[in-house]
Amino acid sequence: MDIYAQITILFLIMLIGGYARKKDILNETLERGLSNFLLNITLPLLVINSFDFNFSKDMFNNIILALIYSIIAFIIAIILSNIIFNRVEVGRREVLKFCGVFCNCGFMGFPIIESIYGKEGLVYASIFNMIFTILIWTYGVRLYGGKSSISNLRSLLKNPGILSVIIGLFIMATPINLPSVIKSVIEIVGGMTTPLSMIITGSMMAGISLKAQFKNKSMYLGIATRLLIIPLVLYIITLAINLKSVPASSIVIIEAMPVGATASIFSQTFNREKELSAFSVFMSTLISMITIPIIVGIVV
């Protein structure tokens, strides 16, 4: 499936969510319940499923490289987001930082990487997704909920997002094969994450003032940061230190994805700037129809 088809699917699912909100099938209470279900059930299962691939010793070095590149990519994204949004008012600042750091690496990143680099690329995308998951449940939660959300190691280890990474790593590193029935349940329920997140985002979009958000200059700065600034800076660094390889290119392309729908889900869960985050997801996904092919053309 090509890039444009993937993005079109996103918008059509969002439209279904918007229709459901306009017809009062969905409301704010249901949005919050679905958001909690997504964050605590479907998203962790999606993460576990992403680690279910055949591990080859020949790929070990590239997997380590992908891990290092992913960490570097997130460090760069966090630093740039802190610099760029430092003067934005408190409240919006934290949401824009989140939008700058956390992309749509699952629904859009995975299939696009697979279409370019095949199953090998998916392995590196899964490694990126591992770091993404750890950070979104630590740094991401901290942005929205404050230090108390990750105040101690015990509560962090009980977090479903972190637990899913630990379970996924165990499955990947051991010869244990889950029963086919369990695998199917994990795959089916985890597969609900993308359509559910898009439906929730579309529902949120139906309840916001589009006119007010179109005038929000900081939002456009956030979108430019996510779609262009971060991936281009990362690409320049890989060229400067001669890191051009399939693992490195995979990470750069993933970093060119639009704002992840998790931004609007977290905003709903923590009741922080819901309109800004939902519209950032919408607009960045729309604009990415132009920017992703450009970045892919440069990198590949």
Q: Encode pLDDT of 195-207 as tens digits.
A: 888 898 888 778 7
CATH number for the domain including 238? 1.20.1530.20
- Look at residue 168 and tell me whether its pLDDT is greater than 70: yes
Residue 297's pLDDT band, with cuts at 50, 70 and 90, is: confident
For residue 101, give the amino acid letter. Answer: V
Helix ranges, the chain (H): 3-22, 28-37, 43-50, 60-84, 92-101, 110-135, 141-145, 153-157, 160-173, 180-190, 193-206, 210-214, 217-224, 230-240, 246-254, 262-270, 274-299
Domain count, the chain: 1
- Judge contact between 255 and 74, C-beta under 8 A: no
**Residue 265: its pLDDT value, please?**
83
Tokens of residue 82, six digits: 């802190």
* Greater model confidence, 175 or 163: 163
Average pLDDT, the chain: 85
pLDDT one-digit tens code per residue, 94-122: 999 999 999 988 777 887 887 788 878 88
Nearest in space to 220 (alpha carbons), one of 272, 296, 282: 282
Q: 106 is in which domain, residue-wise?
A: 3-299
More confident residue, 236 or 244: 236
Cβ(260)–Cβ(134) under 8 Å? no
Q: What is the pLDDT of residue 291?
A: 92
Mean predicted confidence (pLDDT) in 56-83: 90
* 106 contact partners, CB below 8 Å, separation of at least 6: 46, 50, 129, 193, 194, 260
**Ranges 37-41, 57-61, 263-267, 283-287: which has the least confidence:** 57-61
Confidence of residue 90 (pLDDT cuts 50, 70, 90): confident
| Residue pLDDT, tens place only, 62-75 | 889 999 999 999 99
- Residue 213 pLDDT level (bands cut at 50, 70, 90): low
Structure confidence at residue 228 as a pLDDT band (50, 70, 90): very high
Please tell me the predicted confidence (pLDDT) of residue 128.
Answer: 92
